[in-house]
Amino acid sequence: MMEYIVGAILLISAIVVLIASVGIWRFKNLYARMHVVTKVSSLGLLLLLIGVNLLFLDWFVLLESAIVFGVLVFLSPVAAHVIARAARSIGTPGTTDEPESKNTDDGL
């Protein structure tokens, strides 16, 4: 019975990663593409690791997939931050705008 659920989760995560790849090809701005890589691909990997845990039901597999989740999903915002900051410092076109000061009380 569990094999049907795992197969369905596997297909859903493959389609999510396909959507992320299409987003990388279609988006125009560097920061918008970085949004796609950070969030949609993390969702695909989370679904894959849930599928592996449902199939094996083992403590060692749970520990190992928790480490993979920690490395890939906790560190992907940090990697995105480092790349975005480097791109802003070398002046990539499209990333060098000044921040709009919306924190003041201009009637939000």
Least separation in angstroms between residue 108's CB and other proteins is 6
Binds other proteins by CB under 8 A, chosen from 81, 105, 106, 107? 81
Question: For the chain, how many residues are written?
Answer: 108
Nearest-angstrom CA–CA distance, 44 and 69: 11
14-33 residues near other proteins, rule: CB under 8 A: 14-33
Binds other proteins by CB under 8 A, chosen from 59, 86, 105, 107? 86
Nearest-angstrom CA–CA distance, 46 and 60: 17
Binds other proteins by CB under 8 A, chosen from 57, 59, 101, 106? 101
In this structure, how many other beta carbons lie within 10 angstroms of the beta carbon of residue 107?
Answer: 4
* Residues in Cβ contact with 2 at an 8 Å cutoff, skipping those fewer than 6 apart: 54, 55
82 counts as binding other proteins under rule CB under 8 A? yes
62 counts as binding other proteins under rule CB under 8 A? no
